Amino acid sequence: MTEKQTWSQRFETVLHPAIALFNASISFDIELIEYDITGSQAHAQMLSHTGIISPEEGEQLVTGLEQIRQEYREGKFQPGIDAEDVHFAVEKRLTEIIGDVGKKLHTARSRNDQVGTDTRLYLRDQIQQIRQYLREFQKVLLDIAENNVETLIPGYTHLQRAQPLSLAHHLLAYLQMAQRDWERLGDVYKRVNISPLGCGALAGTTFPIDRYYTAKLLHFDSIYANSLDGVSDRDFAIEFLCAASMIMVHLSRLSEEVILWASEEFRFVTLKDSCATGSSIMPQKKNPDVPELVRGKTGRVFGHLQAMLVIMKGLPLAYNKDLQEDKEGIFDTVNTVKACLEAMTILMREGLEFRPQRLAEAVTEDFSNATDVADYLAARGVPFREAYNLVGKVVKTSIAAGKLLKDLTLQEWQQIHPAFAEDIYEAISPRQVVAARNSHGGTGFEPVKQALIAARTQVLQQ
Ligand code: ARG
């Protein structure tokens, strides 16, 4: 639409300038321009393939569209607000370049199926990119894990010391979360990769189009079976935002751990200067801004998911302008998730260092081996619940005496229960406590080594 143009002969006056601005999406949907061009090229090819336009006309449309792509890439095409949205902007420019033939592009199409096509093409690309980012993140976790099978770290439940762990095991938990994220995105991709092109405004078209032809050109797996559904479905966007939110949940949990680990109270990691910031007033401070920002940005991604759900919940079929509100949230989510994955990958790779000395101390200074004392007795025939109660009492008296379990003499152990022998000391050493947990998926060194091998294969999968 040019500045002074009305919509059609039906309209007598132009839009109020403030309403034109309110209505326009060009300021943000310009992000879709290359996908819009690609989609239009496929549409033009289909129009000529089906004889709706001549081959020459088809050729002109495709070439003209390609020129717009080049102009855009070179910064020579910067449509303003008068274009309303990216679709009109491209069509208008096309007509300027190739003349009246450009006006044939929109035959048998509506902006409704067009914008749906563009959004899907965009998300398809972005999903693949985010999956790559996830792989990089996983590889870093795996590298650290491989070097730290025998590094021990306190494991927590309720943020209370529970049982010591192999640090590798701890990091592999995040690798598994990222693996599900990777798989989840692959699953969302299937629902993104369906073509709405040719659904028209809502009811299909009177022209003898070939929807399979455009779907094939655009590498869609299939086409929407119902035109109303095709133009108004945003399930794929909700699913994407949900998968993105899940990634953020995982990144935010890791962020929270890093923030705790870097505190004076834990001192499990040192933040490197390349990934930490100082305070403008307190010279001693080194702040974990990266994980804090990731944790903080989680909120806006959840917000976009919530917004999309609310946008959809009351929409009657088919297209409603409300749907224009899908884009900013999707774009921001894509950019935020990529930025957070990249930042966390860098942080884990070179922004922090685990402190083995401090970790080794940490696993010896508590009662996180108490379960192993109970297991020791249970393995020697004492019913577990009885052993559990007995050890509870020992913990209580030890705390009162200012002792740890390792400080009890053999005599003291045997007073508690005659089944205790010299090997209790070995059984409750942090290393042994970890090494003994050889159940499948457990933190024992053997299952962890197996898990590392499996994870290596997993992350190589593309
Ligand atoms: N800019 C619009 C959007 O993003 C394009 C589709 C407009 N369709 C319409 N019937 N007004 O949704």
The finding on whether 323 has its CB within 6 A of some atom of ligand 1 is yes
The finding on whether 112 has its CB within 6 A of some atom of ligand 1 is yes
Residue 44 burial (C-beta neighbours within 10 Å; 0-12, 13-18, 19+)? buried
| pLDDT higher than 70, residue 229 | yes
The finding on whether 324 has its CB within 6 A of some atom of ligand 1 is yes
Q: What is the mean pLDDT of residues 339-357?
A: 97
Q: Which atom of ligand 1 is nearest to the CA of 327?
A: 4
Q: What is the mean pLDDT of residues 134-152?
A: 98
Separation of alpha carbons 235 and 240, rounded Å: 8
pLDDT on residue 3: 47
Q: Which atom of ligand 1 is nearest to the CA of 201?
A: 10
Separation of alpha carbons 211 and 294, rounded Å: 42
Q: What is the mean pLDDT of residues 422-448?
A: 97
pLDDT band at 135 (very low <50, low <70, confident <90, very high): very high
Q: What is the mean pLDDT of residues 180-187?
A: 98
* Whole-number percent of the chain with pLDDT over 70: 99
Q: Which atom of ligand 1 is nearest to the CA of 84?
A: 1
The finding on whether 115 has its CB within 6 A of some atom of ligand 1 is yes
| pLDDT higher than 80, residue 7 | no
CA of 324 to the centre of ligand 1 (A): 6
Q: From the candidates 43, 110, 158, 429, which is the catalytic residue? A: 158
Over residues 186-199, the pLDDT tens digits come to 999 999 999 999 99
Q: Whose CA is closest to atom 10 on ligand 1? A: 112
pLDDT on residue 6: 63
Task: Examine the residue annotation and report whether 170 is marked as an active-site residue of this protein.
Answer: no
Q: Whose CA is closest to atom 12 on ligand 1? A: 324
Q: Whose CA is closest to atom 2 on ligand 1? A: 324
Q: What is the mean pLDDT of residues 27-46?
A: 98
Over residues 79-108, the pLDDT tens digits come to 998 899 999 999 999 999 999 999 999 999
Q: Which residue among 40, 85, 308, 320 is best mutated to probe the pocket of ligand 1, counting the most ligand atoms within 8 A of its Cβ?
A: 85
Specify the pTM. 0.96
pLDDT on residue 283: 81
Task: Examine the residue annotation and report whether 27 is marked as an active-site residue of this protein.
Answer: no
CA of 85 to the centre of ligand 1 (A): 8
| Structure-token pair, residue 252 | 């935010």
